[in-house]
Amino acid sequence: MRHFPIFLDLCGRTALVVGAGERAEAKAAALAAAGAAVVRHEGADLPTPEQLRSASVVFVCAGDPAQAAATAERATVERVPVNVVDRPDISTFVMPAIVDRGDVVVAIGTGGAAPVLARRIRARIQQLLPERLGRLAGFAARFRGTVKAAVPDFDQRRRLWERVLAGPIAEQVLAGREAEAQAAMVEAINRREAPPAGIVHLVGAGPGDPELLTVRALRLIEEAEVVIHDDLVSPDILSHARVDALRIPVGKRQGRPSTPQAEIEALLVRHARAGRRVVRLKGGDPFVFGRGGEEIEALRAAGIPFTVVPGITAVLGCAAAIDLPLTHRDHASALTLVTGEGRAGARPAMSAAPHQTVALYMGTRAAADVAQGLMAGGRDPETPVAVIENGTRPDQRVAFGTLRGLGDLVRADRGNGPALVVIGETVALARGAPEATSARQAACA
């Protein structure tokens, strides 16, 4: 270890920043954020010995190398810790790369030798540490006194904290559900025991491309002990789960009948009751035709804590994949998401007015009917449509046509993957849309 790491308490103490420019500004701002009284020295002359002596720490961001070196030398003589930007050789301390999560701070040093490496490590750690970790530290700090008073025995108290910080209470704080976490914490203190570790996260896996996972989804998948997943979730995404995680497919395809919804809900409850961290992984977003609503009802009824993590829903992924704007100030002022498989065969009621985009989910069977209904309601039969199969995946396929021909288009172009139908003027703007429709679009505009 070349440098000894410490965390300085600069609150109310003077920090001298020598030099002008962006880096000096940034340094001054960071120091002020840590509570330091920042003194700037922007002139080309050297700071006086008095200036240096009154500072607890000196940062030199001067453009002139001679000024920087002389300032560092003076500060060293005065025994004030000094850091010169990009000059570890004349600094008495070096600046680490920092991951800042409020009270939780990670500082990464590479002996001043390889700042780029430090930054790369920082990026990795940043991904690892949830954004709200600082809030979790604050949450724990607020309860520290109460827990100590209620649970005087040290070992019992440590066990309680371990279960709080590794369990559902912490997960709720990290998911921004502090009120629920607070209530659970009060209950834990009253019972002198933290709740069991079981929790269910309803996680949206997006349309397929693993890069479209949210940061939180990725972290929860990596931490899960049980992953209960739809068929729509691609193997690339599942591969992020731990090797020892239990993977339970509950989807329809691959020749199996789908697991009945009640059974899925029972699985969630059973594994969470056994104290496991369960991820219920769904294609797209859990609350867009994903039965997320039914599952959280079941979890609520069973008293199981849960969180919901949104995902990129199919229409957003598919549209981005083919450069299809879903709204457009000139061509579409509404976006409607409808299912072709409503219960009891009910066809969604939707407006047939022009200048709006319709995304039809699970719509290959219903497409012809839906098109008929829209045209009967007055929508132009020449309205462009796209059928996107396996959107955002390597085997993505797109077929373009018009509302009039939608039924045939869907029948002719049917693979095995999930397919989304998009109807609306802006389809003509998509990459690969036929010239004819584009020309027509231009005429309409």
Smallest distance from ligand SAH to CB 39, Å: 54
Please measure the distance between the N-terminal and C-terminal CA atoms of the chain and give it in whole angstroms. 67
In the complex with ligand SAH, which residue's Cβ is closer, 195 or 208? 208
**Structure-token pair, residue 289:** 């035709």
- In 3D space, the residue among 423, 424, 428 whose CA is nearest the CA of residue 366 turns out to be 423
In the complex with ligand SAH, which residue's Cβ is closer, 72 or 386? 386
Single residue of 132, 163, 282, 440 touching ligand SAH by CB under 6 A: 282
Of 133-141, 177-185, 193-201, 281-289, the window that binds ligand SAH (rule: CB under 6 A) is 281-289
Single residue of 32, 37, 362, 375 touching ligand SAH by CB under 6 A: 362
Distance in angstroms (rounded) separating the CA atoms of residues 410 and 136: 50
Check residue 399 for interaction with ligand SAH (CB under 6 A). Answer: no
Distance in angstroms (rounded) separating the CA atoms of residues 74 and 219: 48
- In 3D space, the residue among 267, 259, 268, 206 whose CA is nearest the CA of residue 237 turns out to be 206
187-216 binders of ligand SAH (CB under 6 A): 207-208
Smallest distance from ligand SAH to CB 259, Å: 15
Decide: 257 and 224 in contact? Cβ < 8 Å: no
Alpha helices in 312-417 (DSSP H): 314-321, 367-376, 406-412
Smallest distance from ligand SAH to CB 424, Å: 16
Single residue of 139, 143, 289, 400 touching ligand SAH by CB under 6 A: 289
Smallest distance from ligand SAH to CB 352, Å: 21
- Give me the half-sphere count of Cα atoms (radius 13 Å) on the Cβ side of residue 128: 10
Smallest distance from ligand SAH to CB 326, Å: 14
Give 10: exposed, middle or buried? Use CB within 10 Å, 0-12, 13-18, 19+. middle
Check residue 283 for interaction with ligand SAH (CB under 6 A). Answer: yes
| Catalytic sites, residue numbers | 230, 252
Percent helix, strand and coil across the chain, each to the nearest 5: 40, 20, 40
Check residue 357 for interaction with ligand SAH (CB under 6 A). Answer: no
Give 338: exposed, middle or buried? Use CB within 10 Å, 0-12, 13-18, 19+. buried
316-345 binders of ligand SAH (CB under 6 A): 318
Check residue 109 for interaction with ligand SAH (CB under 6 A). Answer: no
Check residue 234 for interaction with ligand SAH (CB under 6 A). Answer: no
Residues in the site for ligand SAH, rule: CB under 6 A?
207-208, 232, 282-285, 288-290, 313-314, 318, 361-362, 388, 390-393, 418-420
